[in-house]
Homo-oligomer: A and B are copies of this chain.
Amino acid sequence: MAMNYQEILEDIRVEVQPLLKKGKVADYIPPLAGRSLLHFGMSLRTIQGETYSVGEACERFSIQSIAKVFNLTRAMQLHGDRIWKRVNREPSGAGFNSLGQLEAESGIPRNPMINAGALVIMDMILNHADAGEDLILDKVRALAADESINYDLMVAEAENDTGHRNRAMAWLLKAYRNLDNPIERVLQAYFRLCSLAMSCEDLVTAFQYLATGGTDVHGEIIATSEQVKRINAIMLTCGVYDEAGDFAFRVGLPTKSGVGGGIVAVLPGQYVAAVWSPGLSPKGNSLAGTRALELLTTRTTGSIF
């Protein structure tokens, strides 16, 4: 029986309205701080290629940490399993930017989805001769089938200006000899990566390879089916920081969030969903976005569990 996804998304949009005002916009990155709490967009794309959208699903926003999945995928392409010598794959049980944990674990980040881990992953990409000048941008454009996708340099610059804690993290990684490139080179690449501006529709297209076992919307093989399983596993256990357990419990899908208010979720073999709403929970995940995904798996009665 075909699922009426469009109707389900419409219902979800109505149901999350009261939540929109309750979150808190990320205020430490000035260009994000200005965003209205009232934005809401959502898309779902099946592996057959049907796309369903509601609200501002074509409006681009700062995907922030969602980009860590592109970062990880690129490093896996370039370095394979060698990346696990420099970063672990355990949920952190701590905030996404904890220095104390990095120190307690001697400079090996808990996983690639927290800031310290993403910096190490980026450092590995920079180390590789085949990384290319733009590192990841061309790859993301190809995945999303849209050449107009770009960095938002105002956001990147704002992160650079206010990224004192990320700088502290990078120096601490350096102190533990877990960063090869010059600090500023890694940070600039990282800030640009986080500044990627994409819409919900861009995201459900770009993440298709995680629902199909590795093939993107052009039929290109992006990752082996084993790598895809592993990326999904890491998204489930580490993708929403210290809310991973609650998210698995309520939503039940591999997922990755960003402080820009975006969340992407994958039901392997079926679909990718993306949602955007700038108001965040105290732990840094979109409040209405989380609820929207919870409603999605409840209505469709399908999750990985």
- Count residues of chain A with CB under 8 A from any CB of chain B: 51
For window 130-187 of A, CB contacts with B under 8 Å fall at 164-165, 167-172, 174-175
Contacts of A171 in B (CB 8 A): 164-165, 167-168, 171
Most buried by B among A101, A228, A230: A230
Across the interface, do A168 and B305 meet the contact criterion of CB distance under 8 Å? Answer: no
Cross-chain contact B232 with A238 (CB below 8 angstroms): no
Q: Point out the residues of chain B lying under 8 angstroms from A93, CB to CB.
A: 90-94, 101, 110
Task: Report the bound CA distance from A26 to B104 in whole Å.
Answer: 21
A99 close to B (CB within 8 Å)? yes
CB distance from A275 to the nearest CB of B (A): 19
Judged by a CB distance under 8 angstroms, whether A56 is at the interface is no
Residue of B100, B104, B252 touching A233 (CB-CB under 8 A): B252
Contact A237 B233 (CB under 8 A): no
Interface flag for A248 (CB, 8 Å) = yes
Copies of this chain present in the complex amount to 4
A89 touches B168 (CB 8 A): no
Which B-chain residue is minimally distant from A243 (CB atoms)? B90
Shortest C-beta distance, A209 to chain B (Å), equals 13
Say yes or no: is A103 at the interface (Cβ < 8 Å to chain B). Answer: yes
In the bound complex, CA of A18 to CA of B172 (Å)? 37
User: Is the beta-carbon distance between A246 and B164 smaller than 8 angstroms?
Assistant: no
Encode A243-286 as 1/0 by CB contact (under 8 A) with B: 11110110010100000000000001000000000000000000
A225: chain B residues at CB < 8 Å are: 301
Query: Is A229 an interface position by the 8 A CB rule?
Result: yes
CB distance A89 to B246 under 8 Å? yes
Contacts A242-B90, A246-B89, A305-B228 given; indicate if A103 touches B99 (C-beta within 8 A). yes
A38 at the interface (CB under 8 A from B): no
Task: State the A residues within 8 Å of B (CB).
Answer: 88-94, 98-101, 103-104, 110-111, 164-165, 167-172, 174-175, 225-226, 228-230, 232-234, 236-238, 242-246, 248-249, 252, 254, 268, 298, 301, 303-305
> Nearest CB to that of A174 among chain B residues?
B164
* Further pairs besides A164-B171, A165-B172: 9, Cβ < 8 Å: A88-B245, A90-B245, A99-B99, A99-B100, A165-B175, A168-B170, A229-B252, A236-B237, A238-B245
CB distance from A173 to the nearest CB of B (A): 9
Task: Return chain B residues, CB-CB under 8 Å to A252.
Answer: 229, 233
A279 shortest CB reach to chain B, Å: 22
Known: A104-B100, A110-B93. A232 touches B305 (CB 8 A): yes
Q: Contact between A303 and B99 (Cβ–Cβ < 8 Å)?
A: no
A89 touches B245 (CB 8 A): yes
Nearest CB in chain B: distance from A253 CB, A: 10
